[in-house]
């Protein structure tokens, strides 16, 4: 399999993760003009799995490092397969809350609050499993991100009531998303050795390569969708129930491709984050990738104009939010080499 051992390349991959995780939701914004986010989410889930399978049979099955995908799957321990699968299930619940929050409150609110909170929790929980980097600098970066979350929430409160589609519901869903999202990554990393060079050691028997872990993660996401997305279709947070027949009746090739593309974009980010973690450390890889919050907020503020109705002074809060995020991300990068 192909592995990443060069730290600057790992950081570059984390930046690609940031761009992918911060941009995939634009496909939801485009698709939701014509159908409900619950229907979009089925195609998104398919796209996530499709990309991980492509990587598993290509990069995961070539190169001189570790085992190939099929050989790894054959030796995998049930416990470790379960860890990666559980990560996908937890992520799925969190992500459904996120797409609902985007639908209600927009990118510029859902991402800074939900994914920002996930960054804080995720870095802390992942660092406990893989304590790589300077803890003081890493957590100072996390504190800056937490400050950015508060600033974004304050900016949201300044919107006129008609600009807040369901008042605080979007923020509540974002917070619930963030709490759950902060825990999924540690389960995926728990299914793999901290150092891929140790894969051949007897003590690491049954553990997975990143490519196998990603496939199991994606299966957990897609299969749990039949439970959690179905619930949200029957009892949506806002609006009327969404029948299954609408997926075929109202869908067209363009809408399905937009959803699949959104899932594949997100999945590129997840895959690069996991692959970069062996060199950068999983806590740093996850934390840097979650700079996606700033990317998504930029889309929401400048492209989708989600704060155009806000009173004067709101731009100052948004500017401070971006500044704290930028400083926080910089500190997370430096933490590895300090």
Residue 159: pLDDT above 80?
no
DSSP state of 126: H
Long-range CB contacts for residues 187-190, cutoff 8 Å, separation at least 24:
187/83, 187/84, 187/86, 187/87, 187/90, 188/83, 188/84, 188/87, 188/88, 188/213, 188/214, 188/217, 188/274, 189/126, 189/129, 189/130, 189/274, 189/277, 189/282, 190/80, 190/83, 190/129
Report the Cα 237 to chain-centroid distance in Å. Answer: 21
Give, in order, the Cα–Cα distances in Å from 78 to each of 56, 74, 75.
19, 11, 9
Q: How many CB atoms lie within 10 A of CB 50?
A: 16
In whole angstroms, give the CA distance from residue 41 to residue 37: 6
Which helix (H) or strand (E) covers residue 311, if one does?
none
**What is the rounded end-to-end Cα distance, in angstroms, of the chain?**
30
CB-count burial class (<10 Å; 0-12, 13-18, 19+) for 258: buried
Query: 96, 229 in Cβ contact below 8 A?
Result: yes
75: its two tokens: 């030796």
Residue 95 confidence (pLDDT): 93
| pLDDT tens figures, 179-232 | 999 899 999 999 999 888 788 788 788 999 999 999 999 999 999 999 999 999
Q: Which of 53, 34, 83, 45 is nearest to 230 (CA)?
A: 45
Residue 70 confidence (pLDDT): 94
Task: Note the helical H segments in 158-209.
Answer: 169-190
Average pLDDT on 145-153 reads 82
Residue 43 confidence (pLDDT): 97
Residue 65: pLDDT above 80?
no
Confidence tier at 161 by pLDDT (50, 70, 90):
low
Confidence tier at 162 by pLDDT (50, 70, 90):
low
Identify the weakest region by mean pLDDT among 13-22, 85-94, 154-163, 168-177.
Answer: 154-163
Residue 329 confidence (pLDDT): 81
Average pLDDT, the chain: 88
Residue 163: pLDDT above 50?
no
In whole angstroms, give the CA distance from residue 191 to residue 324: 33
* Sole residue written with tokens 């825990």: 183
Residue 51 confidence (pLDDT): 98
In whole angstroms, give the CA distance from residue 298 to residue 301: 5
| pLDDT tens figures, 290-337 | 777 778 878 888 888 878 878 888 889 999 998 998 898 889 878 877
Query: 31, 258 in Cβ contact below 8 A?
Result: yes
Provide the strand spans (E) within the chain: none
Q: What are the respective helix, strand and coil percentages of the chain, to the nearest 5?
A: 80, 0, 20
∠ CA 176-51-255, nearest 5°, is 75
∠ CA 271-266-328, nearest 5°, is 85
φ/ψ of residue 86, rounded to 5? -60, -40
Report the Cα 194 to chain-centroid distance in Å. Answer: 21
In whole angstroms, give the CA distance from residue 106 to residue 306: 7
Please state, for a pLDDT cut of 70, what percent of the chain lies above it: 98
In whole angstroms, give the CA distance from residue 229 to residue 137: 39
8: its two tokens: 């600057």
323: its two tokens: 């500044």
In whole angstroms, give the CA distance from residue 140 to residue 78: 38
282: its two tokens: 């999983």
Average pLDDT on 12-37 reads 89
Residue 16: pLDDT above 90?
yes
Pick the residue with more confidence: 169 or 220? Answer: 220
């Amino acid at each position: 399999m192909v592995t990443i051992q060069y730290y600057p390349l790992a950081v570059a991959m984390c930046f690609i993760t940031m761009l992918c995780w911060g941009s995939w939701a634009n496909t939801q914004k485009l698709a939701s003009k014509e159908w409900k986010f619950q229907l979009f989410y089925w195609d998104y889930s398919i796209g996530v799995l499709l990309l991980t399978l492509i990587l598993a049979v290509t990069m995961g099955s070539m190169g001189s490092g570790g085992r190939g995908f099929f050989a790894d799957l054959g030796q995998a321990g049930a416990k470790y397969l379960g860890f990666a699968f559980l990560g996908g299930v937890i992520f799925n619940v969190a992500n459904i809350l996120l797409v609902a929050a985007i639908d209600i409150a927009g990118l510029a609110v859902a991402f800074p609050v939900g994914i920002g909170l996930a960054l804080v929790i995720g870095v802390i929980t992942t660092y406990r499993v893989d304590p790589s980097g300077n803890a003081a600098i890493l957590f100072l970066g996390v504190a800056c991100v937490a400050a950015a979350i508060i600033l974004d929430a304050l900016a949201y409160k300044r919107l006129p009531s008609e600009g807040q589609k369901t008042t605080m519901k979007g923020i509540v869903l974002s917070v619930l998303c963030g709490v759950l999202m902060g825990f999924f990554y540690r389960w995926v990393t728990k299914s793999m050795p901290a150092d891929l060079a140790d894969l051949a050691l007897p003590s690491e028997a049954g553990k997975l390569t990143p490519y196998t872990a990603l496939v199991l993660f994606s299966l957990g996401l897609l299969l749990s969708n039949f439970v959690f997305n179905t619930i949200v279709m029957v009892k949506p947070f806002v609006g009327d129930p969404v029948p299954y027949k609408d997926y075929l009746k109202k869908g067209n090739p363009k809408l399905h491709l937009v959803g699949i593309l959104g899932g594949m974009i997100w999945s590129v980010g997840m895959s690069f984050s996991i692959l970069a973690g062996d060199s950068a450390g999983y806590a740093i890889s996850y934390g840097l990738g979650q700079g996606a919050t700033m990317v998504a907020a930029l889309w929401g503020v400048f492209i989708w104009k989600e704060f155009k109705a806000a009173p004067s002074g709101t731009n100052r809060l948004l500017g401070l939010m971006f500044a704290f995020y930028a400083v926080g991300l910089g500190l997370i990068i430096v933490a590895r080499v300090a």
